[in-house]
Amino acid sequence: MTLTSMLGGFMRRHWKSYLAAGLTLAGIALLSVSVPRRIGHIIDKLATRSLAPGELATELGILVVMGLAIYGLRVAWRLTLFPVSYQLGVELRHRLYERLSRQGPPFFQHQRTGDLMALATNDIDAVEMTAGEAVLAGFDGTMTLVMVLAMMILGVDWRLALIALIPFPVMALAFWWISSHVHDAWKTSLDNFSRLNEHTQETLGGIRTLRSLGLTGRSAGTFSAIAGDAADASLRAQRWEAAYEPAVGLTLGAAVTLTLAAGGAFVWHGEMTIGTLTGFTMYLGQLIWPMFAMGWVTTLLARGKAAWSRLEPVLSEPDSIADTGTILEPPAGEIRADALTFIYPGQHLPALQDFTVQLGKGETLGLVGPTGSGKTTFLRLLLRQYAATGGELSWGGYPVSDYRLEALRQGLSWVPQEPFLFSASIAENIALSRPLATRREIEEAARLAAIHEDILRFPKGYDTPVGEKGITLSGGQRQRVAIARALLSPAPLLLLDDALSAVDTETETRILAHLREARLGRTVIIVSHRLSAVMDADRILVLRGGHVTESGDHAALLNAGGWYAGQWRYQQLEASLDAL
Residues 401 and 458 occupy one common structural domain: no
pLDDT at 520: 63
In-domain check, residue 29: no
In-domain check, residue 54: no
Q: For a pLDDT cut of 90, what percent of the chain falls above it?
A: 15
More confident residue, 524 or 105: 524
Least confident of 42-46, 469-473, 493-497: 42-46
Cα atoms in the 13 Å half-sphere on the side-chain side of 250: 12
pLDDT at 48: 67
Among residues 506, 495, 570, the alpha carbon closest in space to that of 528 is found at 495
Highest mean pLDDT among 60-69, 76-85, 175-184, 408-417: 408-417
Q: Is the pTM higher than 0.85?
A: no
Residues 277 and 295 occupy one common structural domain: yes
Residues 401 and 466 occupy one common structural domain: no
- Distance of alpha carbon 190 from alpha carbon 471, whole angstroms: 31
In-domain check, residue 188: yes
Contacts of the segment 292-296: beta carbons below 8 A, 24+ positions apart: 292/141, 292/244, 292/245, 292/248, 293/137, 293/138, 293/140, 293/141, 293/142, 293/144, 294/141, 294/175, 295/175, 295/178, 295/241, 295/244, 295/245, 295/247, 295/248, 296/133, 296/134, 296/137, 296/244
More confident residue, 315 or 245: 315
Overall domain count for the chain: 4
pLDDT class of 287 with cuts at 50, 70, 90? confident
SS3 of 412, please?
A: strand
Residues 379 and 466 occupy one common structural domain: no
In-domain check, residue 32: no
pLDDT above 70: residue 474: yes
pLDDT at 541: 94
Residues 198 and 300 occupy one common structural domain: yes
205-237 pLDDT tens trace: 777 677 776 777 777 888 788 888 888 888 887
CATH number of the domain residue 239 falls in:
1.20.1560.10
Residues 162 and 219 occupy one common structural domain: yes
508-560 pLDDT tens trace: 888 888 877 766 678 999 998 888 888 888 999 999 988 999 999 999 999 99
Residues 245 and 335 occupy one common structural domain: no
Average pLDDT, the chain: 83
In-domain check, residue 83: no
In-domain check, residue 19: no
Residues 425 and 520 occupy one common structural domain: yes
Among residues 288, 380, 280, 284, the alpha carbon closest in space to that of 340 is found at 380
For 398, phi then psi, to 5°, come to -125, 145
pLDDT at 357: 92
Stretch 68-86: mean pLDDT: 81
pLDDT class of 580 with cuts at 50, 70, 90? low
484-515 pLDDT tens trace: 998 888 888 999 988 877 777 778 888 888 87
In-domain check, residue 51: no
In-domain check, residue 160: yes
Q: For a pLDDT cut of 70, what percent of the chain falls above it?
A: 96
Residues 95 and 221 occupy one common structural domain: yes
Residues 463 and 392 occupy one common structural domain: no
Q: Are 302 and 182 in contact (CB under 8 A)?
A: yes
| Phi-psi label, residue 297: left if phi above 0, alpha if psi -120 to 50, beta otherwise | alpha
Residues 152 and 208 occupy one common structural domain: yes
More confident residue, 263 or 316: 316
Highest mean pLDDT among 103-107, 130-134, 157-161, 535-539: 535-539
CATH number of the domain residue 401 falls in:
3.40.50.300
- Distance of alpha carbon 497 from alpha carbon 375, whole angstroms: 8
pLDDT at 578: 64
Tell me which residue range forms the domain holding 471.
Answer: 416-525
Residues 182 and 254 occupy one common structural domain: yes
